Amino acid sequence: MTLRLHFCSALIVLSVLAAFPAPLFAQNLSAVTPENADATRYGRGWECKPGYREAGDGCSAINVPVNAYLTNRSYGSGWECHRGFLSNSDACTAIKVPANAFLNATGDHWQCERGFRKNDNGCAAIKVPAHGYLTDASYGSGWECERGYRPVGEACVAIKVPKNGYLAGTEFGSGWECNRGYRAADDDCVAIKVPKNGYLADKTYSLGWKCNRGYQANGNNCVAVAMPANAHLDYTGNDWECSPPYSQRQDRCVR
């Protein structure tokens, strides 16, 4: 019984195979993969070999110019220029590195060496004035002035620090600041006159002084804060505000 079943199954398989023409199987097995391609199990069933790219139903050779190499990518030209060369149409032309320059890290451009900067013809030396020094910045003049000097045109000019002043750590503004207890007035540092019931303040205050708690500035003096009934000193200590549940109405606190 078992032999008869195997025999019948074999006859069925042979009958099915006989129903398809032999050329169809030949096409599926060999004609599907074009020349210069390898069969794959995904996509269209084949891919072009390295150095070739899809062209219609086949693979055509990639024309790699001199001084270039294959990228094995399916997009773009399929090749890139060697370091020190640039793509120019279908060719790779050498990058002309001028004197006092070098190829950048990617090898597709050049940069000027330290102490030089790019101009129309190549790299020109940066002229550093007396009391100046080179910087590594790729913008600006390429140099800065030493401490105690400031840039004026193409030169470094000494900063004139007035009496009771000192050099500031910046090239902007006057280049100097006044000592504590003094404030700038034109090109000089003048003593700050602190009124009674006041004290020296930080430089952010234009007067150079502030009034003690309970006092407020009035011209060049510190006068006591006049508070109405049901009020108290505010967070600054130099003015007043109404205590809840009162609210301010002009110079009074009312309910």
**pLDDT tens profile 46-98:** 888 888 988 888 899 999 999 999 987 777 888 999 999 999 888 999 999 99
Q: Contact at 8 Å (CB) between 67 and 85?
A: yes
Determine, yes or no, domain membership for 56: yes
Is pLDDT at 26 greater than 60 in this prediction?
Answer: no
Residue 95's pLDDT is: 95
Tens digits of residue pLDDT in 108-151:
999 999 999 998 889 999 999 999 999 988 788 899 999 999 99
Which residues, 6 or more positions from 97, have their beta carbon under 8 angstroms from its beta carbon? 103, 110
Tens digits of residue pLDDT in 167-222:
986 655 678 999 999 998 899 999 999 999 999 987 656 789 999 999 999 999 99
pLDDT band at 24 (very low <50, low <70, confident <90, very high): very low
Is pLDDT at 22 greater than 70 in this prediction?
Answer: no
**Integer Cα distance of 158 and 121 in angstroms:** 35
Determine, yes or no, domain membership for 60: yes
Determine, yes or no, domain membership for 3: no
CA torsion sign, 76 to 82 to 84 to 90?
negative
Determine, yes or no, domain membership for 58: yes
| Residue 99 in tokens | 């004197």
pLDDT band at 6 (very low <50, low <70, confident <90, very high): very low
**Integer Cα distance of 147 and 131 in angstroms:** 9
For 6, the 3-state DSSP assignment is: helix
Q: Contact at 8 Å (CB) between 245 and 234?
A: no
Residue 112: strand pairing partners: 101
Closest CA to 193 of 167, 158, 155, 219: 219
Inter-CA distances, 233 with 219, 230, 255, Å:
20, 11, 19
**Integer Cα distance of 105 and 149 in angstroms:** 36
| Residue 224 in tokens | 């006591």
CA torsion sign, 32 to 33 to 39 to 44?
negative
Q: Please count the structural domains in the chain.
A: 1
Residue 205's pLDDT is: 63
Residue 77 is part of which domain span?
36-84
Closest CA to 79 of 90, 96, 49: 90
Residue 3's pLDDT is: 44
Determine, yes or no, domain membership for 55: yes
Higher per-residue pLDDT: 232 or 90: 232
Determine, yes or no, domain membership for 74: yes
Higher per-residue pLDDT: 32 or 7: 32
Determine, yes or no, domain membership for 48: yes
Determine, yes or no, domain membership for 89: no
Identify the helix (H) or strand (E) that includes residue 47: strand 46-48
CB-side neighbour CA atoms (13 Å) of 81: 17
Residue 7's pLDDT is: 45
Question: Rounded to two decimals, what is the model's pTM?
Answer: 0.56
